[in-house]
Amino acid sequence: MITIKCEVLKRPFRSLLGVSFLLCAVLSGCGGGSVLPSNSSGLPPLPPAKKGRYFTHVVIIVQENRTFDNLFATFPGADGTKVGKTHDGSRPLQKSDLESRISPHNGYPYWLQDYNGGRMNGFDRVPIGKTPGTYVYQYVDPAQIRPYWTLAKQYVLSDHLFQTQGSGSFTAHQDLVAGGTAIDSTQSLIDFPNGRPWGCDAPGGTVTSLITANNQYQANAGPFPCLDYRTLRDTLDAKGITWRYYAPEVGYSFGGNLWNAFDAIRAVRQGPEWGRNVTWPETLALRDIADDTLPGVSWVIPDYQNSDHSGDNSDTGPSWVAQVVDAIGQSPAWKSTAIVIVWDDWGGWYDHVAPPKPQRYGGLGFRIPMIVVSPYAKRGYVSHNVYEFGSILRLVEDNWRLPRLGTTDASAHGFIKDFFDFTQRPRAFSLITAKYSKEYFEHQRPSNKPVDTE
């Protein structure tokens, strides 16, 4: 008899169907056991989600690189504008397509130029190659982002949410799991590593950039991007709250290599939660929703082509978000879920509202949109209160009575009382009409596009 040793592979791999999973090969004479995993998402099931004070599930859907004015300049009741400030006057914002032919700059040095000491009039002085800086004075045709406007009209739109730093996607995604990127009491990470993937999988010699409390920028002076600070993962695990981070595969696609926050967290990347709690592809979120196995906290990170990122030659981002929301809305989880839709950074686009002072560690950065969807969300409400990424962490912490991480979650305003009305009857869900179907995304090939590094 042939004896074959059963074991769980330490690294996930891609099957012929494009689903990454952990494999235990169980063959005749292998001594019992069963093939893992057991649910249709191709993952070992997590324990059932625990009900919190308000919600059993919080889902954070992350999109890319848009300011509030770029998407909602003309939204009724919101603080938008159709006129932008330039260094020597003003110019009208042009109504434009969602898909942009180029990707504007959005690192900290460019942010400083745009910000111009709080005057918000330096955007035209940041050329994009041979394209003048005036290119970023645009707002997207609302007809092309109809799902976002529909969600904003039916639920809650925040028009004064500011990103944690005037920086790009690397630290923005870190802030959405940790609320900050301090490596000691005087310095924080900013911008992005000089090698990719952005995390523990980066090539040797990769470094990060730093900024001090008084905004002294130190390019390429930071550590290798495999980090040990605490994140929501630590406080969630300590209280037995389930979580998953759905993202494109690291080492395989553009989005996975740059936008997987937990690839930069050593305890996750080098521990058993990699491949179980951090999962890929991101479409596994749709399967967990369909199986009614959605964890307590979910982060849903898009493939590049579905990300709203400029220059991606795609208009699928609004439909991707709509399909995730629709899947939850039609599932048993709807009645106990809060969905936060947020864009990670300003992407170089114009915005007219200066972030609040004082400016420390490169922040607060510019405004980005946030839409919150829930059966308890106020209907058609535009919140003008000031929030930041730490406010999103507070939603999770306040819901499950978790301790503060002590980053921006400690100082940010929470929005539970502002956005929700728990005295109202839970609202029935209405489908969000979208151009592309759920099946489109389930069968879509990963983009695998290394186009932009900010």
Round to whole Å and give the CA distance between 182 and 383.
29
**Taking phi first (over 0 means left), then psi (-120 to 50 degrees means alpha), and beta for anything else, what does residue 313 get?**
left
pLDDT beyond 70 at 283: yes
Across the range 402-422, mean pLDDT stands at 97
Q: Return the minimum-mean-pLDDT range out of 23-27, 203-207, 450-454.
A: 23-27
Q: Are residues 407 and 349 in the same domain?
A: yes
Q: Are residues 301 and 434 in the same domain?
A: yes
pLDDT digits (tens, 9 = 90+) for 339-378: 999 999 999 999 999 999 999 999 999 999 999 999 999 9
Round to whole Å and give the CA distance between 311 and 272.
36
Round to whole Å and give the CA distance between 193 and 247.
19
Which of 94, 71, 157, 88 has its CA nearest to residue 123? 88
Q: Which tokens in the block code for residue 122? A: 């330096």
Residue 107, domain member (yes or no)? no
Confidence band for 73, pLDDT divided at 50, 70 and 90 = very high
| CA 13 to chain centroid | 24
* Residues 6+ positions from 403 with CB-CB distance below 8 Å: 235, 397
pLDDT beyond 50 at 4: no
Q: Are residues 21 and 62 in the same domain?
A: no
pLDDT of residue 24: 32
Q: Are residues 25 and 159 in the same domain?
A: no
pLDDT of residue 40: 58
pLDDT of residue 45: 82
Contact 259/301 with Cβ under 8 angstroms?
A: yes
Confidence band for 336, pLDDT divided at 50, 70 and 90 = very high
Confidence band for 454, pLDDT divided at 50, 70 and 90 = low
pLDDT beyond 60 at 38: no
Which of 420, 428, 437, 432 has its CA nearest to residue 376? 420
Across the range 303-332, mean pLDDT stands at 96
Answer with the residue of higher pLDDT: 374 or 44.
374
Average pLDDT, the chain: 90
Give the percent of the chain with pLDDT over 90. Answer: 86
Give the percent of the chain with pLDDT over 70. Answer: 89
pLDDT digits (tens, 9 = 90+) for 144-182: 999 999 999 999 999 999 999 999 999 999 999 999 999
pLDDT of residue 21: 33
Across the range 194-210, mean pLDDT stands at 97
Round to whole Å and give the CA distance between 209 and 225.
10
Domain count, the chain: 2
pLDDT beyond 60 at 232: yes
User: 15: domain range?
Assistant: 1-36
Residue 431, domain member (yes or no)? yes
CATH of the domain at 169: 3.40.720.10
Residue 229, domain member (yes or no)? yes
pLDDT beyond 70 at 119: yes
Residue 89, domain member (yes or no)? no
pLDDT beyond 70 at 449: no
pLDDT beyond 90 at 212: yes
Confidence band for 10, pLDDT divided at 50, 70 and 90 = very low
Round to whole Å and give the CA distance between 252 and 453.
16
Residue 168, domain member (yes or no)? yes
Q: Are residues 64 and 11 in the same domain?
A: no
Give the per-residue SS3 of the chain.
CCCCCCCECCCCEECCCCCEECCECCCCCCCCCCCCCCCCCCCCCCCCCCCCCCCCEEEEEEECCCCHHHHHCCCCCCCCCCEEEECCEEEECEEECCCCCCCCCCCHHHHHHHHHHHCCCCHHHCCECCECHHHHCEEECHHHHHHHHHHHHHCEEECCEECCCCCCHHHHHHHHHHCCCECCCCEEEECCCCCCCCCCCCCCCCCCEEEECCCCEECCCCCCCCECCCCHHHHHHHCCCCEEEECCCCCCCHHHHHHCHHHHEHHHHCCCCECCCEECCCCHHHHHHHCCCCCCEEEECCCHHHCCCCCCCCCCHHHHHHHHHHHHHCCHHHHHEEEEEEECCCCCCCCCCCCCCCCECCECCCECCEEEECCCECCCEEECCCEEHHHHHHHHHHHHCCCCCCCCCCCCCCCHHHHECCCCCCCCCCCCCCCCCHHHHHCCCCCCCCCCCC
pLDDT of residue 213: 96
Q: Are residues 22 and 159 in the same domain?
A: no
Residue 165, domain member (yes or no)? yes
Q: Are residues 305 and 348 in the same domain?
A: yes
- Is the Cα dihedral 376, 378, 380, 384 positive or negative? negative
Residue 99, domain member (yes or no)? no
Global confidence as pTM: 0.91
pLDDT beyond 90 at 44: no
Residue 119, domain member (yes or no)? no
pLDDT of residue 396: 98
